[in-house]
Amino acid sequence: MSPADTHSADAGTSDAAQKPSRRRFLQSAAAAAAVSAAPLAHAQQQAAATPAIAPPPAAVPMLPVRLNINGHPYELQVEARTTLLDALREYAGLTGTKKGCDRGQCGACTVIVSGRRINACLTLAVMHEGESVTTVEGLAPNGDALAPIQQAFIEKDAFQCGYCTPGQLCSATALIAEYRAGDASAVTADVRFRPAQLSDDEIRERMSGNICRCGAYPNIVAAVKAVASGNA
């Protein structure tokens, strides 16, 4: 074989050896491009699948509610869903009425509406349009003297932390009025007749909707009994 033939054979061998390398390079480049493009395509798919953000809801309309609270007229602008408790505290600024469980179980929010005690957290303000509401701030006849039930609570030491006391005072005030009006309770022996006096059992039953977590129940009973019997 001549030198020229030998050189030609060597060149052919070299080209054959280089061709696979170029092929692998192109394959690697294509694979790298595909890997790089995959996250972008996935992100674009996620963006397309994400729903558009809904616009904020329109403002809830406010309703006027006229109440007579502790002898004073109030006209409050409240949402239809506002409870009487929140209307008193947040809109009328009367924070004496307390929010305890907010479920009608503890009695801390007890107020007197048109002569009847209710849990203010369980009723809507708009349901009492034009009605009279008495809160703990309105129990005293004037700003200089306490109501008899308030004075009795102090004398009988009928509270400790005081959080439930506003509801206890309102409930006791209504209880005494109910008793004097001849209303019976679940423990009244004969519902046709008013008991001659409020026994401890009568008071406990009639105050059972008001919880005192400090456990001042005996002193609360004593305070209510003193006022009901005229000894306070």
Mean of all residue pLDDT scores within the chain: 85
Say how far apart CA 84 and CA 68 lie, in whole Å: 13
Which CATH number is correct for 59-138, 2.60.120.1090, 3.30.70.2190, 3.30.470.20, 3.10.20.30?
A: 3.10.20.30
Q: What is the pLDDT of residue 86?
A: 98
Mean predicted confidence (pLDDT) in 26-48 = 58
22 against 193, higher pLDDT: 193
Taking residues 111-127, what's their average pLDDT? Answer: 97
Q: Lowest mean pLDDT: which of 1-15, 106-120, 194-208?
A: 1-15
Give the span between the Cα atoms of 75 and 130, in whole angstroms.
10
pLDDT value of position 201: 95
Asked if residue 191 has pLDDT above 90, the reply is no
For residue 64, pLDDT over 70 is answered with: yes
139 forms beta bridges with none
Tokens of 146: 């306490």
Domain spans in the chain, listed from the N-terminal domain onward: 59-138, 140-232
**Does the pLDDT at position 12 exceed 70?**
no
The answer, yes or no, to whether residue 59 has pLDDT greater than 90, is no
Strands 72-78 and 132-134 come out as: unpaired
Give yes or no for residue 104 having a pLDDT over 90: yes
Residue 231 has a pLDDT of 74
pLDDT of residue 142: 75
- What pLDDT is attached to residue 175? 96
pLDDT of residue 63: 93
Residue 112: predicted pLDDT: 98
Can you tell me the mean pLDDT for 153-178?
A: 97
Fold of 140-232: DNA polymerase; domain 1 (1.10.150)
> What integer is the mean pLDDT of 119-148?
94
Q: Which of 54-58, 117-121, 159-163 has the lowest mean pLDDT?
A: 54-58
Q: Which two tokens stand for residue 22?
A: 């170029």
Average pLDDT for 163-178? 97
Task: Reply yes or no on whether the pLDDT at 195 is more than 70.
Answer: yes
Number of alpha helices (DSSP H) and beta strands (DSSP E) in the chain: 6, 5
- Comparing CA positions, the residue from 119, 118, 114 lying closest to residue 130 is 114
Helices (H), 59-190: 84-86, 148-155, 165-180
